[in-house]
A and B are shown apart, each in its own frame.
Chain A
Amino acid sequence: METGSRLYEWFNSRVDLENILKFMKKKTVPYHRHSLWYYIGGMCLYLFIIQVITGILLLLYYKPTAEAAFESVQYIMTEVPFGWLIRSIHSYAANLFIGFVFIHMFSVFLMKGYRKPRELTWVSGVFLLFLAMAFGFSGYLLPWNQLAYLATNVGTNFAVMVPFIGQWLLEFLRGGPEVTGATLTRFFGFHVAVLPGICTVFLAGHLILVQRHGMSVPVSIEKEIRSGKAKRLEIPFFPNFLYRDALGWTLALGLIILLSTLFPWELGEKADILKPAPPHVRPEWFFVFMYQTLKYVPKALGVFGFAVAAMVWIILPFFDTKSNRGEYNRLFTIIGVAALLYVIVFTVIGYVAPGE
């Protein structure tokens, strides 16, 4: 006990532990009928941490060359103790991660959680979604199997649509004019070094802003509180909220392990550049809504449209002055619902529509 106190004092005098603990004790989270959505952000963080841990474990055996990548993943799946589990967890958690980031983003948008002073939290969050998608895109190629090879071919092809620098961008992404072993090595570099580096900066910024501003209370709840129809309720972050988070994380872990054991992530066939593409090649599910859209509009126009839409989506909160004043903004709700429906409907069409 004596040693514990002395250790605490030692650290306290150097990193101001007392202040941190005081902040943790004081930190509260609003409590109301929409509180469930507050846990989604924590779930995203939890899944991201799983990705980091399992990713590091996979790195111990993975070899990022066209000659050895597939075989090294095969080795992980068959020979490395629990390798099949680690890789499957990495793959399932990756997809759940992106799924939860989408849910998080739309829930924040529809609850107008982006309103002043949280605009920068929104901006950093949308960038984190783009980074998550980039993680997914680059990681998909790493096992160097046929489907991933073809999907990367199709995916990177869209780069040429970018005005002026299209061809350069394509070759930058691929490490040459074609998808080859050079692309694999490059994507590996993006996946384990470049993206994590950028992601750390955005994630740190995002989390600091969340701590700084606290959770946003939806406009409708604020109105009810102001009119006296409801009381302002809050729960302590530590331990009440954290326990709730932990409950969600525990159940998510159970789900991931269940999926990984019953349906280990497939490896498929090794990429063969000379093999013809099978019919109905489509990218990963989180790109399908864009891929499907590009089937209906000229590709250059579509790519340009998505770029504009992404930029508008990022800066949209800055124009929602009505929500900032604490009023209900029907137009922004319609925009949010329309965007959500568009993503869902086009993703479903991508899976059920007959291939051309």
Chain B
Amino acid sequence: MRYLIITILTIPTIFYDSAVAGQSSCINCHISSEWVSDTSIAATFMAGDIHRNMGLGCEDCHGGDPGIGFEEGDPELAMNPAKGYGNPPDRLSIPEFCGKCHSDVEYMKKYNPRLSTDQLKLYKTSVHGKSLYNRKDTKVAICTDCHGAHGILPSSDSRSRVFHAKIPETCKKCHSDEGYMRGYKYEGKQIPVDQYSEYKESVHGILVLEKGDNSAPACNDCHGNHGATPPNLASVSAACGECHANNRDFFNGSPHKTPWKEMDLPECEQCHGNHYIQAVTDDLLGVSEDAICLDCHDETSAGYKTAMAMSMSIDSLKFSIEAAQAVVEEAELKGVEGGQARFDLGSAKDDLIRVRSVIHTFDLEQVSDITRAGIKTAGEVQLMAEAALSDILIRQIGLAISLVVIVFIAIMIRLKIKKIDSVTNFEVQEKK
């Protein structure tokens, strides 16, 4: 049905195309059910394939002569091996087939000078590419599995299978299929098929899939795309650090860096997980029930004390901000302009955000320096708001005094009116 609709919709374009670009025997035959049983290939190609939009025709990939054959009623004239026509490539040869053009720097410059030409090279380094070429495993992903064959859209097109928010769905097709993935192993273990279901629930997945945030990572941002490979221990933090650069740098300078490397522990992943990364809370730090520091540090260790101290330091800053905020809100409720106080309190809140990143240094001194500054700012704001509150009291006392004076004056005026009215004759003598 879908192909029928596409076919109907593209009929006018075909006529236009034939008229302008000359008769294409390939399209004329492949769009007609008289000649071929599946007209969808030509239809999807005509419906906006990027190659077609760039002016390429069937013959640029398949060879042959599109200028002949249809009117003569003999498709063999178009599909002439002497004119380069060959059978469509099989799965094993498709990467090389696409790479013919896409690895040719000079050729690609004509169409899109910014497009890289290393896809095939990268593919050969990927798990997919290695399996294809080394083990002749044609089940692995090849170009057409992700990009399509005749309806290829640029990755910037939201309908494309490689558009940022569509990538998890594209990878999922194979990687969530238990039967398809059976037998595929990584480091001797069966590759799991729960990546998508975990990612979907993760902070990144929610951003990409639900909120359409293209700045949050999809599968390819950590694993690569053409060179897709499971990140090893070193490259996990490198992948995270692409976006979380400060946290990466703080961690690299932290006392955890070397011992974790020696113990073969992953870096970011050790505390935050991989596909199922949840929004972090301050409870992860410290020695409370939910704290992940306790996974490694027991009560006797120095790390336990540092974790506890860092957590307390951050809690103190949070409490200071909350206390200041409450007084500012109370003052605002009573009518004091609190714009400046809110602005200043924003600086303490910035410190809180900053310290949540700096904890990746696991350096109590650095953490305390920031929390102290934030607590100081919050304290000043609180003092400012408290002063405003006492100012309100002074205002209200002033109001009470003013009202007493005003009411007194009003009573005096009223008495005066009574007095002068008593000696005034209101009656007017009409003139005769």
Number of chain B residues whose Cβ lies closer than 8 Å to a Cβ of chain A:
26
Contact among B339, B399, B402 with A74 in the assembled complex (CB-CB below 8 Å): B339
Q: Is the CB of A261 within 8 A of B409?
A: no
Contact among B340, B395, B399, B420 with A240 in the assembled complex (CB-CB below 8 Å): B420
Cβ distance A216 to chain B, nearest Cβ, rounded Å: 15
Q: Which chain B residues border A231 with CB–CB below 8 Å?
A: 427-428
Contact with A along B394-432 (1 / 0, CB 8 A): 011011001100110110011011001100101110100
Q: Is the CB of B427 within 8 A of A262?
A: no
Q: Is the CB of B428 within 8 A of A261?
A: no
Contact with B along A238-270 (1 / 0, CB 8 A): 011001101100110110011001111001000
Q: Is the CB of B403 within 8 A of A257?
A: yes
Q: Does A233 contact B (CB under 8 A)?
A: yes
Q: Is the CB of B426 within 8 A of A31?
A: yes
Contact among B398, B410, B417 with A251 in the assembled complex (CB-CB below 8 Å): B410
Q: Is the CB of A254 within 8 A of B417?
A: no
Q: Which chain A residues border B340 with CB–CB below 8 Å?
A: 74, 78
Q: Does B335 contact A (CB under 8 A)?
A: yes
Q: Is the CB of B399 within 8 A of A261?
A: yes
Q: Is the CB of B413 within 8 A of A232?
A: no
Contact with A along B335-349 (1 / 0, CB 8 A): 111011000000000
Q: Is the CB of B335 within 8 A of A250?
A: no
The distance in angstroms between the C-alpha atoms of A244 and B337, with both chains bound, is: 37
Given contacts A233-B428, A243-B420, contact A261 B410 (CB under 8 A): no
Cβ distance A36 to chain B, nearest Cβ, rounded Å: 14
Closest B residue by C-beta to A251: B410
Q: Is the CB of B399 within 8 A of A257?
A: yes
Q: Which chain A residues border B416 with CB–CB below 8 Å?
A: 243
Q: Does A327 contact B (CB under 8 A)?
A: no
The distance in angstroms between the C-alpha atoms of A239 and B417, with both chains bound, is: 9
The distance in angstroms between the C-alpha atoms of A236 and B396, with both chains bound, is: 39
Q: Is the CB of B398 within 8 A of A261?
A: yes
Q: Does A84 contact B (CB under 8 A)?
A: yes
Q: Which chain A residues border B339 with CB–CB below 8 Å?
A: 74, 78, 267
Q: Which chain A residues border B420 with CB–CB below 8 Å?
A: 239-240, 243
Q: Is the CB of B413 within 8 A of A262?
A: no
Q: Is the CB of B407 within 8 A of A254?
A: yes
Q: Which chain B residues border A233 with CB–CB below 8 Å?
A: 426-428
Closest A residue by C-beta to B413: A247
Q: Does A234 contact B (CB under 8 A)?
A: yes
Q: Which chain A residues border B403 with CB–CB below 8 Å?
A: 254, 257-258
Q: Does A235 contact B (CB under 8 A)?
A: yes
Cβ distance A132 to chain B, nearest Cβ, rounded Å: 25
Q: Which chain B residues border A258 with CB–CB below 8 Å?
A: 399, 403
The distance in angstroms between the C-alpha atoms of A264 and B403, with both chains bound, is: 17
Closest A residue by C-beta to B406: A254
Q: Does A86 contact B (CB under 8 A)?
A: no
Q: Which chain B residues border A247 with CB–CB below 8 Å?
A: 410, 413-414, 417
Q: Is the CB of A235 within 8 A of B335?
A: no
CB proximity to B under 8 Å, residues A183-216? none
Closest A residue by C-beta to B416: A243
Q: Does A44 contact B (CB under 8 A)?
A: no
Q: Which chain A residues border B337 with CB–CB below 8 Å?
A: 74, 77-78, 84, 264, 267
Assuming A232-B427, A262-B399, what are 4 further A-B pairs, CB within 8 angstroms?
Answer: A240-B417, A247-B417, A257-B402, A261-B335
22 contacts between A and B (CB under 8 A): A31-B426, A74-B340, A78-B340, A233-B427, A233-B428, A235-B421, A240-B421, A243-B413, A243-B416, A243-B417, A243-B420, A246-B413, A247-B413, A250-B410, A250-B413, A254-B410, A258-B399, A261-B335, A261-B398, A262-B335, A264-B337, A267-B339
B residues apposed to A, CB below 8 Å: 335-337, 339-340, 395-396, 398-399, 402-403, 406-407, 409-410, 413-414, 416-417, 420-421, 424, 426-428, 430
A residues apposed to B, CB below 8 Å: 28, 31, 74, 77-78, 84, 231-236, 239-240, 243-244, 246-247, 250-251, 253-254, 257-258, 261-264, 267
